[in-house]
Amino acid sequence: MKSCRGLLSAFLGVIVAVALVILLLPKGPRETMEMPMEDPFHVSREAATADDFMAASGTPWATWAALDILERGGNAFDAGMAALLALNVTFPEDASFPSVAPVVIYVADTGEVLSYCGAGKAPEKATIEFFRSEGYETVPRLTILSQLVPASPDVLIAILDEYGTMSFGEISESAIDLARNGFPVHKAMMKQLDLSFVERFGFNLMMPYNVDVYLGGQWWRPLHLGERFVQPDLADTLSAMADAEAEVLAAGGSRTDGLTAVRDYFYEGPIADAIVAFHEEEGGLFSRSDLETYAGYWEEPVSGEFGDYTIHANDTWCQGPVLPMMLQILDGMDLEGMDHNSPEYIHALIQAVELAMADREAFFGDPDFVDVPLEGLLDPRYAALRRQALTPDAAFGEMPAPGDPYVLMGETATVPDRETLLAALSSMTTDMPAGTDTSYLTVTDDFGNSISLTPSDFPQSPMIPGTGLCLGVRMVQFRLDPDHPDALAPGKRPRITPNAAMVTKDGELFMSFGTPGGDMQPQALLQVFLNIVVFGMDVQEAIEEPRFRSVNFPDSFSPHEYRPGEIIMEESLYEMVGEELEEMGYVITVIGDWTGEMGGVCAIIRDSDTGDLTGGADPRLESWAEGR
């Protein structure tokens, strides 16, 4: 008994000693920096205007990186890649390097709109059978098993090589400087990373290198607003990629040779070595072949019509077609006559959203693996058929059934019914989604070229030690249901939520825009587009208006939660119309105004007559638009 008491006393003594040590450890801010401007988070502003060129992105530093390249003679594609890397550095918890990076571009010389596939693939060892054998019903988070083969280095080199004019070394300068010398922790970043003591302790146990990167290895010490945030390992990685290019150029290689060297350094060289070694050590799924054989590709974007406007988006390896599908359902309705954000108007938009999302659930997947009836889904006659399903005075209640696009294609196929789609879900909960999970950038230059890009990956799985690289958790957007179009398969791309968008009018660039926000992305873009085109708002006013979103369909992230009949509204909007919508049968969750969950839209509009540019950036996040 005495020995037991002695052991207990010793144990308690250790606990007390550890607690005292933790209490005495420094908790205050490390070195601080001044913001170079007023922090734009939750700050209203006027639309940005410019005569020559403009950038709008998820942080001011990314916007400034783009403007620096444009001022040095680069074009929109050079500037977009500089902004991408700067965004990876200055908003790493939402869009780390190397991220997924869906892209749509407008090439002024030819008037072409092109899409580039910026979604990585599942490794060859990733099978439904493997995850089931490990006891998983959905792809798990917070584990190396959720990592997708990275896409953005491939995207970056493809765009620079095909349409850019500058070297990787030139466009990476701002990002390397920001990673090495730091930037102040901004308000949006602080909000995302304001972790409790217990959360920091838990993350240190699970992913110690992530804590090294984000908290300088001092898990007990929270981040503070204005702290200098540095990422020396990422700076070294980007510098090494630039050095690989410089070596080739110094030996007389061409610009393309140099860019190829950068890509090879990542997918076939030292970075690939580090990634594969870590996966082998930690029981991950990556092989060297997964990296060496990875490639994205150029494609014709999907498109739909709304009045005189054509909306261009990425293919069904993401949710890109949802936006043109929604707009075609609404095209021809008297939206203006309903009055902006009236109960009738919101009800019409929500039902268009839910009809398109039901079709997304039934049909969308990687087109290399799934025969998606896209021709039917984007046929205006199909939109008219879906419009007939609208109920003028009552909410759907449950996710509506998908339509039958095969009829208009002269084909016969089995369309999954609503019950089958919903029965496959692993859970039905009312948990609120967390975080914004993505960022966005767009650049338009003085030639009229434009790029729209939606990067995303976040450090919810172990980062690659010594590199500063975050491979993200996009495998969680697969399903482990073999009958689902988004079913996991080796070498397949998940139907990711990030998607880029662009609008032309009479064949000329009208607007480049996009947003973070998971399943909210097409819903936020829908509302901003209609605010501009139907209600005549300027781009910044259109962005700042209060928003709503439906969650009456399975969430794209595992465990793919489904909340029947529910919508989310910002508080000021609920106060105006919430009761009327509840009378229609909607279950409403109210959140604060200008919440990041409702997106972070950035947009640039180009006047086709004068070439003048107008830009907007969402105060819901750290977004910033600026031009010259």
The answer to whether residues 415 and 404 touch, using CB atoms and an 8 Å cutoff, is yes
Beta carbons within 10 angstroms of residue 368's beta carbon? 14
DSSP code string of 451-515: EEE--BB-SSS--BTTTTB----GGGGSBS-TTSTTB--TTPPP-BS---EEEEETTEEEEEEE-
For residue 41, what pLDDT is reported? 97
What pTM was estimated for this model as a whole?
0.94
For residue 18, what pLDDT is reported? 47
Q: Mapped to the 3 state alphabet, what secondary structure does 318-364 carry?
A: ECCCHHHHHHHHHCCCCHHHHCCCCHHHHHHHHHHHHHHHHHHHHHC
Closest to 143 in 3D by CA, of 134, 151, 152 = 134
For residue 414, what pLDDT is reported? 82
3-class DSSP assignment, residue 129: helix
Beta carbons within 10 angstroms of residue 371's beta carbon? 11
CA atoms within 13 A on the CB side of 428: 13
CA atoms within 13 A on the CB side of 126: 32
For residue 22, what pLDDT is reported? 61
Q: Tens digit of pLDDT for each residue in 587-610?
A: 999 999 999 999 999 999 999 999
For residue 14, what pLDDT is reported? 43
| Cα-Cα end-to-end distance for the chain | 80
For residue 21, what pLDDT is reported? 47
Closest to 434 in 3D by CA, of 191, 259, 233 = 191
For residue 1, what pLDDT is reported? 54
Q: CA-to-CA distance for 293 and 205, rounded, in angstroms? A: 34
Cis-peptide into 462, omega within 30 deg: no
Phi and psi based region of residue 491 (left: phi greater than 0; alpha: psi -120 to 50; beta: remaining) = left
Which residues, given as ranges, of the chain have pLDDT below 70? 1-25, 424-436
The phi and psi torsions of 504 (rounded to 5 degrees) equal -115, 155
Domains and CATH numbers, the chain: 64-297+442-477 (no CATH), 299-436+499-627 (3.60.20.40)
CA 344 remoteness from chain centre: 30
